[in-house]
Chains A and B, each alone.
Chain A
Amino acid sequence: MSRFSSDGMSGSFVLSRRRFLAATSALSASAALAACGGSSATDTPKPAAGATTAPATGASTSAPAASSAAPPAATTGVASSAAGGATPAAAAATKPAAATGKKGGTLIVASQADAETLDPHITTALRATYYLQLLHDNLINRDFDGSFKPNLAESWTVSPDGLTYTFKLRKDVKFHSGKAFTSADVKYTYERWQKTDKSPTSYTIKPITSIEAPDPQTVVFKLDKPYNILLDQIAGSYGVILNQDVVEKAGKDYGVTVADGTGPYKFKEWTRQQKFVVERNPDYAWAGPVFQNQGPAYLDGVEFRIIPEAATLVAEFEAGNAHVTRDLPAQDVERLTKGDKVTVVKFNQLQTTYFGLNTKKAPVDDVIVRRAIGHAINRDEIVKGAYFGLGQPAINMLSEQTPGYWPGVKGIAATFDLEKAKSTLDQAGWKPGAGGIREKNGQQLVVPFWYINGSSTVLMAQILEQQLGKAGIKLDSKPYEETAWFAAARSGEQVGYTVGVFYENADVLRFYFLSTNQPAPNRFGWNNPEMDKQLQDSLSNPDKAAVLKDYEAIQKTLAEQAPALPLIHEQGTVGVNKKVQGVKVHPSRWLYRMLDLSLS
């Protein structure tokens, strides 16, 4: 999927945590839709920014709930700050203007899953983006508020017709291998991305028709038609800059045993399913305005330890053997919050977990049935029961903080109203039958429900089964491992299913509901020519107001027709040992380049 644009980002730095959260929500503009798989079952990746699909490993069996993976939405948590988004004040500590961290120490990150490769052009895994952003830089960075800031490019301009993007590059940048960074590397990297065989993300930069490097410090991207989300791709996790010489020399081994970048950390060691280790790049000095510390990093290095079993992971974290983790089981969060050695930072993320319905399959081809299901679902109970309170009940595919979010959905979407669910089904001819399951023309009202096995999804399926049962709808739930789910859910045989998606802008709607995106990610069998037009228009129309109108119309239709019933916007958590200073969670990049982190 791809993302949207760079427009709409307003945003400002915020110092206090409370204000910071508020601000992010208000503004975070576009960005890539990040989808991710993983424990809590999220949709696939691809996007520019934080996207990704979590690696299959381990995740399916245990998977912590909220942890699912994926871009968080910012928070600052300082060592001393109390956990929980609720707390106000504390966080200020994170951004003291001239703060410098203590030098030294290796940060241990406990992670439930490993990445698959370090080649940014063939991965879609969230875990890979965490590694990539330590090793590499982008031309521009996405700030915590969603706006774009210089990184390797000192400045950039976009032509008024939106067809030419010109970047002026820094002169003082070196790769880890020692080579000086020039425009040739940028040209090479983006052309490689476009040409890489089977790259799952190359379509996101397809509108680029040519890339020119007129001098070593200038790069020009040319497009054949306006593309509102190009900067999102360039600032995205897969848009990092590679070293042409090293990539060409390594061939097939690039990203497997070899990786070179200009980032704050150098690739040191990677034993699959065991640990990924990077060490400080002592020459680093080009972080850009997103970070306090321009470089080099305070930490000597960072080590990701892979621990697939959630119970083991949380035990290691509590014992102080890991400093940071984003994979805390939801049920442990409250308990850990009370500890004196660790804290839990919660943050809102642009994320939606929804109940998808294939509008081509009976009985959910009937909008009355789809809406009745929506009325039967008590979302508060799901948030509490399956996610242990970590999330907001959802009725819109876009969370409130998403630019383009339309509040009018509230009066239209099918929200919890059991009596209404029953009465509309009665009127539609679905009469209670054997075992309390409704019937019509000899057909029972049974809705198959496919989900990716994870600790929260498994609870959610059970809760939904009970809730729909009360309305006389039988939910026939079936767990899948992640890869198997993605294969099954594009077969056309799917009826009801659930998955979560991370995004950074409203372009997630195009990702899901464009008719040509069938069989996947448009698993809804959704085919609406008018909506197709609106979706296409949102991508290339330079008029922001018109784009917002498009989004409003789309959200209205979706709320009425209910091909997807949003369930929850999951909240993210980061477990932080109190030794760690300077923690600030990026909405879509997690700990980003780890420049401001230090160990006391």
Chain B
Amino acid sequence: MRQYILRRLLLLPVIALGVSILVFLVLHLVPGNPAQVIAGPDAPPATVAQIEHELGLDKPLPEQYWNYLNRVLHGDLGRSLRSKRPVTSDIRDALPNTLVLAALAAAITPLIAVPLGMLAATRQGTPADTIVTFFSTIGITMPVFAVGLLLIFFFGIRLGWLPISGIGDSLWSPDGFKHAILPGITLSLGSIAVVTRLSRSALLEVLSQDYIRTARAKGLKEGAVILRHGFKNALLPVITVYGLQIGGLLSGAVVTETVFAWPGIGRLALSAIQGRDFPVVQGCLLIVAAIFVLVNLLVDILYALVDPRIHYT
């Protein structure tokens, strides 16, 4: 086990290097030249060429990559081509908003999903089970943007209950919380659905085990059986899947943030991609990849620690 974790950790720098190469290459794969973005759409070719030279874009690729890597390692992600602002400031502004939204979604998920899953499992085959299963299937199936627009349409416009864009006065205020509700629901719907399904099936599986039958035979009340034995044992796979969902939230954030004007890193990345603001694109991809890798690593390690049935090569 320790060896497995060590191996994973040792691989991190290798992955980081690969990520940095891929991120660097984005600049060369995407049409739309950074020098052109700086110079403006109507600049004469000579100006563009001059800026290219100043940016070092006329140097050989490996040299450019080396320079890029050097800067990144010194914590310099460059300045936005458009706002001329350090990319690190952009990310510093945006990242907390995304993390808060993701944390909110992560917090909502088990609170809703686990009770629903238990309800369905303990009432297997009843209408309650059918309804939960049905809605969790919908949750998995609905595209995030459609969920967002529907919530805006019904709760924001028709009913007028909740704000539908931005983060309000500030993130850490009652107003901020109100603003976070609809995007939070949108973002968490997918993971709620998955975790609900999983807790249902995990609990069902556990409940069919011998020791549950034994417990029941002992005359324990059904509630106690489920809580003390069933729930506890079904928890492992649920926790694991839940952990994996957290990484997935970053994916959902891109679309959710766009629909709800939530000023997070997903929206920052998307608008930078659309505006060909290459340093910002690179910075966002790097940071998101770093978080994604670390979260997944953490989950894998937890998983390995928790589930002895898995062996590692």
Contact = CB atoms under 8 A, between A and B. Distances in A.
Nearest to B268: A273
Interface string B227-260: 0000000000000000000000000000000111
A39 to B, nearest CB: 12
B223 interface: no
B275 interface: yes
Interface string B34-56: 00111111110101000100000
A255 interface: yes
Contact of B84 (A56, A256, A488): A256
Contacts of A315: 152, 156-157, 164-165
B152 A311 contact: yes
A124 B40 contact: yes
Interface in B4-41: 31-33, 36-41
Interface of B is mostly: loop
A540 to B, nearest CB: 21
Given A312-B259, A315-B156, A487-B32, A305 B165 contact: yes
Contacts, number: 143
A484 B32 contact: yes
B42 A520 contact: yes
B84 A252 contact: yes
A490 interface: yes
A522 to B, nearest CB: 9
A57 interface: yes
A518 B168 CA distance: 46
Contact of A55 (B47, B82, B164): B82
A209 interface: no
Contacts of A155: none
Contacts of B166: 274-275, 305-307
Contacts of A275: 166
Contacts of B167: 274
Contact of B258 (A1, A309, A488): A309
Contact of B160 (A46, A57, A319, A520): A319
B149 interface: yes
Contacts of A484: 31-32, 276
Interface string A546-571: 00000000000000000000000000
Contacts of B38: 198
Interface string B256-280: 0011110100011001001111000
B41 A490 contact: yes
A245 interface: no
B275 A482 contact: yes
A56 B41 CA distance: 12
A61 B274 CA distance: 9
B93 A271 contact: yes
A500 to B, nearest CB: 13
A576 B163 CA distance: 19
Interface string A184-202: 0000000000000010100
A217 to B, nearest CB: 34
Interface string A271-301: 1111100000000000000000000000000
Interface string A225-248: 000000000000000000000000
B90 interface: yes
Contacts of B82: 55-56, 116-117
Given A307-B166, A315-B156, A487-B31, A200 B274 contact: no
B83 interface: yes
Interface in B155-202: 156-157, 160, 163-167
Interface string B84-98: 110000100110000
A476 interface: no
Nearest to A44: B41
A60 B31 CA distance: 16
Contacts of B275: 55-57, 481-483
Contact of A517 (B32, B42, B149): B42
A84 interface: no
Contacts of B274: 56-58, 60-61, 481-483
Contact of B271 (A37, A273, A519): A273
Given A312-B164, A315-B165, 18 more contacts: A46-B40, A55-B275, A61-B258, A61-B274, A200-B43, A256-B83, A274-B166, A274-B167, A275-B166, A307-B261, A309-B259, A309-B261, A319-B164, A481-B274, A482-B274, A483-B275, A484-B31, A521-B41
11 contacts: A44-B42, A117-B85, A198-B39, A305-B166, A307-B166, A309-B259, A312-B165, A312-B260, A483-B275, A490-B41, A490-B42
Interface of B: 31-33, 36-43, 45, 47, 51, 80, 82-85, 90, 93-94, 149, 152, 156-157, 160, 163-167, 258-261, 263, 267-268, 271, 274-277
Which 4 A/B pairs are nearest by Cβ-Cβ distance?
A56-B275, A486-B41, A200-B40, A274-B263
